[in-house]
Chains A and B, each alone.
Chain A
């Protein structure tokens, strides 16, 4: 039996180590313990190591080493040197040099944000103007769509009224509207919480499936 397990371990060590790590990390649900701490540190260390390897293998090698030193595209070194100017932020005398790449990136980001803002929110703004009296293709009154649009408008206006901070909400109508907007948002937050639970359950299922299917092979 032990020999069989050992042979299986040698054949697929990655699965065994993954299963041990999973169980080790899940011991936390019993109580805080040394085993959990050990695997937690391994996990953090691996993640840090992985990102360094990824940086070298997937960014520095294909975008700097290969083009410059293998293909002779020497002009890319200017980009690299421009990036290195960031490090002058540690120098008291020459820290003004670091402002060059920072300014470049800020300008680039600002330009992008203008475009992203208009492309993202303008279609949504125009979509907010919905008819409250909807007519179907054959000319009859579409009650369901009209009701849907009415609910949408009420929710939109009441939630927006909650965020009117530019004046004191003395009017009873505004106060009630803001109160209703707050309740509507509570419903939305409840929905978000529900989906969060769903995501966590999916992660738990994935780990259990890994243990019982990939590792123990009890489930097909």
Chain B
């Protein structure tokens, strides 16, 4: 092996990171201008969440907890849009709140926009309970007394006389809870709330990082279904026949994955070639 070729194999393992970042930026930006349509296969976990919401009769009561902030907007925002859109399409009563201050405002903006789109009336079809601190205390309390736990909405107005709260006393009157989060808060829901109502459907929309840890809960049925990061949101958008931000993003993310896999292969070729040269 000549010195020049040896140098080449070494270079494959040490490509300047700025070149790699530039390539990454190109593959992420390019699909924005040249959209690529990729076939989407709906994962069983996404389908199960969709079916769970679909099985609730119109007028059913769904709680959506948006415990996320601007840092995970990319994944949690399309998930929030998708789940609220589905609930509103189905004519369900929707109560939104958050254990995160930012999540409270972000989910309020999304809910307002979708409520206007679907003709949802505030107080009659939907409500926003605002931000709630102390996860454990709120969850324990809502099992026994929902109007007492969420006595005021995000504006500080009393909720007990709102038409949408009629007939809602405790967790037994709730059809589904969907948590959209960037944290392990699902364990608190399962530990403190889900077991209190065997008929309750608990869905979870995590960021991609958290997906593997949710599989045992999916297998045991403690979580009825999940929307796994942006990919899950894209699958859900497809089920709703309403392509959105997640669908657009999947082109970029898929290309980025192809690039990363290629770079891993190139780096490994360089590594094995260099090792073979040294062993000679």
Contacts and interface: CB of A to CB of B under 8 A. Distances in A.
A115 interface: yes
Nearest to B188: A116
Contacts of A199: 72, 75, 207-209, 229
A208 B25 contact: yes
A184 to B, nearest CB: 13
A202 B212 contact: no
A112 interface: yes
Interface in B98-138: 101-102, 104, 130-131, 133, 136
B73 interface: yes
Interface string B134-164: 0010001000000000001000100000000
Contacts of A89: none
Interface in A119-133: 119-120, 123-124, 126-127
Interface string B239-280: 000000100110011001100100000000000000000000
A181 B91 CA distance: 48
B174 interface: no
A75 interface: no
B36 interface: no
Given A196-B208, A201-B252, A202-B230, A66 B156 contact: yes
Interface stretch (B2-10, B49-57, B58-66, B217-225): B217-225
Nearest to B27: A201
Interface residues of A, number: 42
A108 to B, nearest CB: 8
A197 interface: yes
Interface stretch (B37-45, B165-173, B189-197): B189-197
B189 to A, nearest CB: 10
A201 B190 contact: no
A213 B72 CA distance: 18
A51 B33 CA distance: 38
Interface residues of B, number: 55
Q: Is the interface of A mostly helix, strand, loop or mixed?
A: helix
Given A29-B21, A115-B191, A202-B208, A219 B133 contact: no
A58 interface: yes
B28 A195 contact: no
Interface in A176-203: 188, 191-192, 195-199, 201-203
A209 B32 contact: yes
B113 to A, nearest CB: 15
A66 to B, nearest CB: 7
18 contacts: A29-B17, A50-B101, A51-B101, A58-B130, A112-B192, A116-B187, A119-B194, A120-B187, A120-B222, A124-B222, A127-B219, A127-B220, A196-B208, A196-B209, A198-B230, A202-B249, A204-B256, A205-B230
Given A199-B209, A205-B253, A209-B32, 12 more contacts: A30-B18, A50-B102, A51-B101, A116-B192, A119-B192, A124-B220, A192-B212, A201-B256, A202-B208, A205-B249, A205-B252, A208-B29
